[in-house]
């Protein structure tokens, strides 16, 4: 068995202090999302920026949960 695969595909219950870290990351990302929404014209590029911001938040949170 590959321990990395096992870790990546299991449920990780939040440990002490993790929910606050998730919230801090989400709040900062939300600030940037509002800025992108206000400053960038509606376009494919804006949509990609928003999608990648969401992706960054998900991976950041995964790094906290998995490690």
In tens, the pLDDT along 13-63 reads 999 999 999 999 999 999 999 999 999 999 999 999 999 999 999 999 999
**pLDDT in the model for residue 41:** 98
- 28 Cα distance to chain centroid: 10
Q: Is 25 helix (H, G, I), strand (E, B) or coil?
A: helix
**Distance, CA of 48 to CA of 11 (rounded, Å):** 28
Structure tokens that stand for 67 in this block: 């490690």
Task: Return the DSSP state at 11.
Answer: -
**pLDDT in the model for residue 2:** 97
**pLDDT in the model for residue 28:** 98
**Distance, CA of 39 to CA of 35 (rounded, Å):** 6
**pLDDT in the model for residue 32:** 98
**pLDDT in the model for residue 30:** 98
- The candidate with the shortest Cα–Cα distance to 67, out of 20, 12, 23, is 12
């Amino acid at each position: 068995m590959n321990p990395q695969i096992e870790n990546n595909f299991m449920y990780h219950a939040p440990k002490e202090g993790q929910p606050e870290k998730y919230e801090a990351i989400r709040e900062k990302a939300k600030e940037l999302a509002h800025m992108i929404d206000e400053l960038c014209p509606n376009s494919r590029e804006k949509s990609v920026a928003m999608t990648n911001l969401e992706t960054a938040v998900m991976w950041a949170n995964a790094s906290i949960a998995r490690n």
